[in-house]
Structure 1
Amino acid sequence: MDASGRTSADVKRRLAVGIDRALDYLHQHQYPHGEFCAYISPDEAMQAGYCLPDPSLFPTVLVSNCLLYVAGEPRAEEMLTRATRFLQYQMQRGGVWQHFPGWHPFYAFSPPDLDDTACISALLQARGIDCPKPTNIPLLLANRNREGLFYTWLIPRLRPVAYGPYWRLTLPQLLSVRQSVLFWRAEAARQDVDAVVNANVLYYLGERAETRAVEAYLLRIIAEGREASCDKWYLNVYSVYYFFGRAYHNGATGLAPARSSVTARICAAARPDGRLGETVLDTALAACALLSWGSYPPELAAAIEFLLAQQQPAGEWPRWRLYYGGPKRLRGWGSEELTTAFCLEALARYQNLPNAS
């Protein structure tokens, strides 16, 4: 029995109901072609000003990754099958992806990026789908700087790259230089090296000689307390903790020295109502991060109770901006589907803990 008088059986029943309702919501809101909705908006709550649907690949792979924790459930299987087919259809030459689907107006001048490529490749791998084939790993390894860190963008570079397929992929971009001027003038830079992007590449490639520099880089960020400014696109510290923890949970054990610092900082942000951070999305990301880092403090149970209490009548949780179009925070993406997927992941993983209560 917990401090509120609920028994373990009560908690597990409520978890099962919450998970079932979340699955219903996501199942009903997936587009027929497999994509999940994401909105673009200038404010974090996505309530003021414009809030418009913006087709993009990354929200779909994020929702799908959360669904892996309930894989085998019929609705989850149907959603994962649709999503992976959608993502496979959007693959570009060499087995890479960019943020936008082929019908988006930015598709023509947005280059492939390692964030989408690594996350989609890892999802397909987790689903046992032999795609991309042949592997895209040599392309990713060719896109590193002298310190061994991965560039965000797959583009032509001045330094020599001794890998022919890299040039076959990137050189055609030189034909659309005029179209891409606005892209590079906005908030992206050709030499971008972003911490969460590197963490997602580590998540895909795993711990190997070529990713040791990435582990050291991520450890320095936590040791120096720079998680709020280490990535141009992820300006929420809880998303940083989530993605770093995901890599650790997937076998990047070299990140272990960061575990105590991350979990202490998450727990220090706990509120009396169970929130971790400020919002439902913060709480879901933080709870998943604690689970990934293998930490199960009392704050985790309180966070799960908070998430259960905040679930809406239709089974969803409110939208909140997850990631941004750059450090100026001019706009960013989020949706009920994204928040709901992270909440679903937190509930499902907590449900699978021994003696969850």
Structure 2
Amino acid sequence: MAKETIIKLNRTVFRKTKKYRAALFLILGLFTVIAVGITAASAAQMPLETASHSESDKALHGSSISQEKIDTSIDKAVSFLKEHQLPSGEFPMNGSLSPEMTNSAYELEVFGSTFVLHALGLVKPDPAVNEMKNKTGAFLLANKEDPGVWRYWGKYSNIPPDMDDTSTIVASLKENGIPVEESGMDYAFNYRAPDGVFYTFMNEEKWMNSSDIYYPYYKMNDIDPVVNANMAYVLSLIGKPVPEVSVFLNGYIQNKSFTERTIYYHIPYSQLYMFTRAYADGHVSDLKPSMPVVREYLLSMQKEDGSWGNELNTSLAAISLMNTGYKGKALDKAINHILKTQRDDGSWPERSFFVGIMTYWGSEEVSTAFSIEALSKYSEMHRTNKNKKSSLLEQK
């Protein structure tokens, strides 16, 4: 059966499944929002602390991994992404009712492609990479709605625009030099809680259908720390930082609330990735007091084989460590594990990255993008250290 036919059948089955579980989605959503809301509120009250650096934190990583090996791995991964990019420019994301992604099915959405675009921005540019980035940019822009906002399932879907999609899309476009208006970010300021943090959904009536079973859920004004981290990320990139969000996130991280799921992020590693990306790539310097907490947690959770469990978690954790400024030997073990688990076609396995109350989302393409990011950042760190050593030798 042709790939296009399989995708269409999967989408039909998956959409029917979504309708059947809508009522349960709503009930569980109410309980989840209440539970997470209590955790987030208490986290915001926590005083800031400064964690101490371990000895391994101070040691520079070694050079046992050859640059050629890393470059070859990245090239294979990029080739895989090129082969799997859809004609629309989207990189597939699959949904499953299981965190193990059992019986996952493709569903058009805009969120996953932003992380592939972000990773491609770290790769040495060439005509093929530039074409992929331009196609992804065109796909994302084609799903934009006035005044510069996005919905998870694309233009005119049955859910309102949200902060998570809008922020990550604008950020990925901006950092890759793809023109995008910033009016949607100004519009987002209409959807803030009294303490200055952002609600998840832009839930004005014009975006929704009151007869939709999801309507009560979207009207609840939920607050997710990771969504706020992505807002902090993009707002810093466009020169409109919101200090109140940093205060909220620092309290949440210092309390180690990331060890529990948020409404949309069920594993700590996807949470920590977003927090540290805002700090390192978004230059949200107000998050600096929390970076030692993240670093120590990640170092304590690494396994003997260099991993943090599955392949996706390992890439997310390695990136997060580097984002905090860590340069220790634990990274060598992590990168070696990432290289060893790459498959012959250049990809890494599909693992769940985030959750929509009941549906888990992930794909080989998104897992591969995070591995590319980890390898690219490690390579750049190694190159920077080498240049510093050369400079010191020249001065002598």
Pair 1:87-2:147 in alignment: no
Q: Which runs of 5+ in 2 are unaligned?
A: 1-61, 387-396
Label 1:210 to 1:294 Cα distance change in 2 as closer, same or farther (>3 A): closer
- Any idea what SS the aligned residue of 1:63 has? helix
- Any idea what SS the aligned residue of 2:314 has? helix
Partner of 1:166: none
Q: Pairwise mapping of residues 290-305 of structure 1 onto structure 2 (< 5 A)?
A: 290-305=321-336
Partner of 2:270: 239
- TM normalised by structure 2 equals 0.77
Pair 1:177-2:210 in alignment: yes
- Any idea what SS the aligned residue of 2:95 has? strand
Partner of 1:354: 382
Between Structure 1 and Structure 2, how many residues are aligned? Answer: 322
Partner of 1:318: 349
Which deviates further from its counterpart, 252-261 or 74-83? Answer: 74-83
Q: Pairwise mapping of residues 130-149 of structure 1 onto structure 2 (< 5 A)?
A: 130-132=179-181, 135-149=183-197
Which deviates further from its counterpart, 317-326 or 8-17? Answer: 8-17
Question: Is residue 119–residue 200 contact of structure 1 (8 Å, CA) maintained in 2?
Answer: yes
Pair 1:109-2:158 in alignment: yes
Q: CA deviation at 1:83?
A: 0.3
RMSD between aligned residues: 2.0
- TM normalised by structure 1 equals 0.85
CA-to-partner distance for each residue in 1:116-141, whole Å, 9 max, x for gaps? 10111112212223322x62232112
Q: CA deviation at 1:190?
A: 2.4
2:178 to 114, 124, 129: 129
Partner of 1:52: 105
2:73 to 18, 23, 44: 18
CA-to-partner distance for each residue in 1:302-352, whole Å, 9 max, x for gaps? 0000000000010000100100012xxx22110100100000110011111
Label 1:336 to 1:209 Cα distance change in 2 as closer, same or farther (>3 A): closer
Partner of 1:344: 372
Partner of 2:253: 222
CA distance in 2 between counterparts of 1:87 and 1:318 reads 25
Q: Which has the higher helix share?
A: 2
Label 1:128 to 1:352 Cα distance change in 2 as closer, same or farther (>3 A): same
- Any idea what SS the aligned residue of 1:40 has? strand
Question: Is residue 148–residue 210 contact of structure 1 (8 Å, CA) maintained in 2?
Answer: no
Pair 1:193-2:242 in alignment: no
Label 1:342 to 1:183 Cα distance change in 2 as closer, same or farther (>3 A): farther
CA distance in 1 between counterparts of 2:275 and 2:356 reads 20
CA-to-partner distance for each residue in 1:70-116, whole Å, 9 max, x for gaps? 152333211110000000010011000010124xxxx5420000111
Which deviates further from its counterpart, 139-148 or 309-318? Answer: 139-148
Label 1:307 to 1:108 Cα distance change in 2 as closer, same or farther (>3 A): closer
CA distance in 1 between counterparts of 2:202 and 2:377 reads 34
CA distance in 2 between counterparts of 1:127 and 1:210 reads 20
Label 1:270 to 1:111 Cα distance change in 2 as closer, same or farther (>3 A): same
Q: Report sequence identity in percent.
A: 30
2:206 corresponds to which letter in structure 1?
P
Pair 1:29-2:84 in alignment: yes
CA distance in 2 between counterparts of 1:135 and 1:71 reads 31
